[in-house]
Amino acid sequence: MAAPRVVTPAQPADERAGEGAVDGSPVDGSIREAALRRGVMPEAAATEAVATATATATATGTVTEPVRGVLVFGADVTDQVESAERLRAGERLQREAAVTLQRSLLPQELEQPDDLRVAATYQPGGTDAAVGGDWYDVITLGAGRTALVIGDVMGRGVRAAAVMGQLRTAVRAYARLDLPPHEVLQLLDGLAAEIDPHQIATCVYAVHDPNENRLVYASAGHLPILVRDPDGTVRRASEPTGPPLGTGGWLHTTGSVPLGPGASAVLYTDGLVERRDKDIYDGVAALERVFAGATGSPQVMCDRLIRALGITAEHDDDVAVLVLQHPARTGHDAELFHNAALELLGGVEAAPRARAFASGVLASWRFPMELRDLGVLAASELVANSLQHGTPPMRLRLRRTDRRLIIEVTDGDEHLPRRRRAEPVDEAGRGISIVATIASSWGSRRTPGGGKAVWCEFALPAG
């Protein structure tokens, strides 16, 4: 902060000309120049002059005009110093409030998906930089799928942090609808304009599906996701990219990039790679080189990326980084993750085949008898629902992780089922209610190629 401007006492110029302090030093504004020539801070010089003037007035018993000028000047400097300190204190309090708000709106603990390892870090800007609106999130969608989000609200301070909190909450709500990434950003774009028409934000929303081993994403003006293959090759998921949120009038689209076992990815905000004296994509290229050689857990990788890019406590922008790994499982870990699928062909006779298939697979996975029976019942009800209301092609997929059993049926019809209360005289309509009652959770979504997927999950017993 610049030194506060000193306002001299209001005296006529002819009365001030040639006057000096009682010790012969200049009065008012010239005290500042004289102090600077002596290498002394003006505030210290003012204090010295006031002390001398006070001593002189006390000794003589009179207050001459020069003495009065020095005293008025000293009081003025003191007031301005106190005002400057109050301003600095207010700025510190405002920054602390913004940092506290920002951190309280970020996830206190990341959700940990079955198939991914994830970690994130946030670092506010230095003491001379206001807090921005960077955020990140990890959202489990069900059926093993995971949404990963990172964004940056333009602007600084409490307002940017508040807008960030509203957008993050909206993303979590839209994610529960299990929409494709571009539709989530489309909804978010309209909401951002409603929150503040003068505020824009960038965002990437990505979904990982372990059955497809791909990361499907949409970007609203954000920097590209970086994906590192098991051999160390780093690729940018840079297309397609739309304009930032809040601009309106744009149809976002979805892209995808492979993310198989052994691969990693990093999502980040511009504070990590942007420097005042360089092009931002030079920073992205530097991040690629560091990411290619980064090893360790996701949290270790976050820390290494921060350090390698030169981010310190005095950095002039806030930074958010989200790292995910799709581990290549071997040995005992591999035994805890299995997939099995059956094409449902032949009309109604597919139902008994599906029950026999589910029973055999769950027995081979050595589940307890109670869980096996519930799994077969859920598979039977989902298949029956698909055969009655869906269209080919149909498929039953069973999947186990170290924490849950997932049963999913896909077909070619886009109408999503709803849980409803069946009347005693109804001959149908109870299948989804039965599944919702016996399973830990259930849901449905539209699939990219047309059609839908209906799924349910059972939590595995501990141990």
Structural domains of the chain ordered from first start: 13-98 (no CATH), 107-326 (3.60.40.10), 331-459 (3.30.565.10)
* C-alpha–C-alpha distance, residues 420 and 214, integer Å: 34
Q: Residue 136 forms beta bridges with which residues?
A: 150
CB proximity list for 302: less than 8 A, separation 6 or greater: 119, 120, 121, 321, 322, 323
Measured distance CA(264)–CA(118) in Å, rounded: 10
Q: What is the per-residue pLDDT for 23?
A: 45
Lookup result for tokens 């405002």: 94
What are the C-alpha distances in Å from 268 to residues 120, 199, 320? Answer: 9, 20, 6
Q: Please, which residues have CB within 8 angstroms of residue 225's CB and are 6 or more apart in sequence?
A: 204, 206, 215, 217, 219, 236, 237, 257, 265, 266, 267
Structure-token pair, residue 412 = 């070619």
Q: What confidence score (pLDDT) does residue 131 get? A: 65
CA 184 to chain centre: 15
Task: Count Cβ neighbours within 10 Å for each residue of 254-269 and write b for 16 or more, e otherwise.
Answer: bbbbebebebbbbbbb
Say how far apart CA 317 and CA 311 lie, in whole Å: 9
Whose tokens are 């930074």? That residue is 319
Task: Evaluate the CA torsion angle 436, 439, 440, 446 in order and state its sign.
Answer: negative
Here the tokens at position 49 are: 């002059």
What's the pLDDT at 12? 44
Please give the single-letter amino acid code of residue 200.
Answer: I
pLDDT of residue 445: 94
Per-residue pLDDT of the chain (463 residues; tens, 9 = 90+): 344 333 344 444 344 434 444 444 444 455 555 544 555 455 555 565 556 656 665 666 565 566 556 556 666 767 777 777 777 766 666 666 666 766 677 888 899 999 999 999 998 876 555 567 899 999 999 999 999 999 999 877 778 888 888 999 999 999 999 999 999 999 999 999 898 888 899 999 999 999 999 999 999 999 999 999 999 999 999 787 889 999 887 889 999 999 999 999 999 999 999 988 889 999 999 999 999 999 999 999 999 999 999 888 778 788 999 999 999 988 888 888 999 999 998 888 899 999 999 999 999 999 999 999 999 999 999 999 999 999 999 999 999 999 999 999 999 999 999 887 766 655 566 789 999 999 999 999 999 888 999 999 999 987 6
DSSP H helical segments within 365-416, as ranges? 369-389
Instruction: Kindly report each contact of residues 8-12 with a partner whose C-beta sits within 8 Å and lies 24 or more positions away, as own/partner.
Output: 8/73, 8/76, 9/69, 9/72, 9/73, 9/76, 11/69
Rounded CA gap, 237 and 248, in Å? 23
- Give me the pLDDT at residue 138, please: 97
> CA gyration radius for the chain?
33
